[in-house]
Amino acid sequence: MSDIGVVPEGEVLDGQEMLTALGVLDPALEPDGAGAPESGLDEFAPGAAQSPVVSGVVAVPPEFVCGTAILLGMVEQVMLAVPAKDYYPALKSIAIDVTDTILTLTGSNSISTVVSSSLAVRVTRPGRVLVPGAKFAAVVRLCSGPDVRVQVTDSAVRVASGGRAWTLRASSTQEYPPLPDIGDLSWFDVSRASFDRAVSGVRYAAGSDPQQDQFMQVELSAGSAVASDGLRFAQVTVELPPELSVQMATSGVDLVARMLANNDADQFRIADGSYHTVVEIGSPEAPDRAIVAHLMRPLPPDARNALAVPRAANRDRCVVGASELLAALSAARPTLDSETGAVLLRVSPTELIVESRNRYDDSSTETIECVFDTPGSDRAPKPRVLTLVRDHLAKAVRAVQRGSLAVADSDEEPSGAEVVLLLGEDRSRARPAAVLIQDVTGTTQAVLTQVRSEWLS
């Protein structure tokens, strides 16, 4: 704990301006808690606590009561952004801010921030405190009563519920990093179902190499979602606002997906600022908010436009059952080439043969039915031999299944039951034709590049 000091007259509480800009802190909050209502709680006698002076800033010790289920939901949301380990210890904490009418919890890992708010709080004394995130979350999960009572006193946080009580240390709010100034934003309403389908259809294709962080993002724009790692490409056509144009880091996409899993909202709001993408879930008065920093480099145009060539050149169509193809790819795993992880696909007018082989001459072969033709032509296409990374192909097929549009009549077979491989002719031995994979509706698509494997050729 820092040395005790004296706060200069008129000094503003640390972090207050940031929270005010986000609409989660009342700018009229008085540092000395003047005018706060009487407690009415026997356990927490009002006036017993003196405002601790920390690092030269008078920290206003909050006191409030919140429903256990509500507080637990808020804690679970902000803990999504609290790192288990970090070089900056304060980031492992949760910031608790209380005004006369609203309770706000904040968690951050410096790249992504989650702010959760609720109006369902009975406030005895507004204020701000920093508590250890993991410990506070563990305590709230153990609360057995209908309500949780929290009082901060002398640099300690006391939590009581259902006859149980815990005391945790409080840290200086000066230690917590400032929240970003997101400024004025233009908000767009996004359907939860559309977002879920978009993420499930493209997330697998985003990059994971920090040295190429420009690929570690998902682009939502022009009614579609796009992701690429430079070698493979995925796109899903979804119902998004046509004016929306956002490039979200994959960490932010995953964070929003987990936040939605903790919330039953059918819609949420999204906005793109100069340096951050902001998502709000829930009521505008007290939303759960995610603030995700932009990556420094945008998704390369070549990766974004990877569909252009395969769409024009790949005219031969192989239609195959998705589950049958996935089963064949699974059977090929034990005998894969360890260097490339590739499988060989032999495509003919009526059957697709999936082969794998390694340097030890271990091999596997499975034949499944397919339909191989050229739409608009009476001539059967010539057989093809493709070499693709097994894991990339399997993930693409699963994503096409998940991201495909559902058939309106539930009695019909869903569109994800079959996948379509659009094949082009190899114009160059050095660069074999890419393979375009899509569902039968064409709304979910993936592009895979072929690889070389001496053990399969």
> What domains does the chain contain, in order, with CATH numbers?
16-175 (3.10.150.10), 188-304 (3.10.150.10), 308-448 (3.10.150.10)
The total of other beta-carbon atoms located within 10 Å of residue 338's CB is 9
**Crossing angle of helices 390-403/192-202, nearest 10°?**
160
- Is residue 148 within 8 Å of 142, Cβ to Cβ? no
| Residue 361, CB-side half-sphere exposure with 13 Å CA sphere | 0
- Is residue 342 within 8 Å of 420, Cβ to Cβ? no
Cα gap 225→234, rounded to integer Å: 8
Cα gap 154→59, rounded to integer Å: 10
| Residue 270, CB-side half-sphere exposure with 13 Å CA sphere | 22
Q: What is the pLDDT of residue 300?
A: 87
The CA radius of gyration of the chain, in Å to the nearest whole number, is 28
Q: What is the pLDDT of residue 23?
A: 45
The total of other beta-carbon atoms located within 10 Å of residue 317's CB is 18
Which residue from 193, 268, 209, 199 is spatially nearest to 234, judged by alpha carbons?
Answer: 199
Q: What is the pLDDT of residue 66?
A: 97
Q: What is the pLDDT of residue 173?
A: 81
Tens-digit pLDDT string for the chain (457 aa): 333 333 344 443 444 444 444 444 444 443 333 333 333 333 333 333 333 333 333 357 899 999 999 999 999 999 999 998 876 888 999 999 999 999 999 999 988 999 999 999 999 999 999 999 999 999 999 999 999 999 998 779 999 999 999 999 988 788 788 887 777 888 999 999 989 988 988 999 999 998 898 999 999 987 889 999 988 999 998 888 888 899 999 999 999 999 999 888 999 999 998 889 999 999 888 999 999 998 888 888 888 788 887 888 899 999 999 999 999 999 999 999 888 899 999 999 999 999 999 988 899 999 999 999 999 888 889 999 999 999 999 999 998 887 664 433 334 444 558 999 999 888 766 678 899 999 888 888 999 999 887 777 6
DSSP 417: G
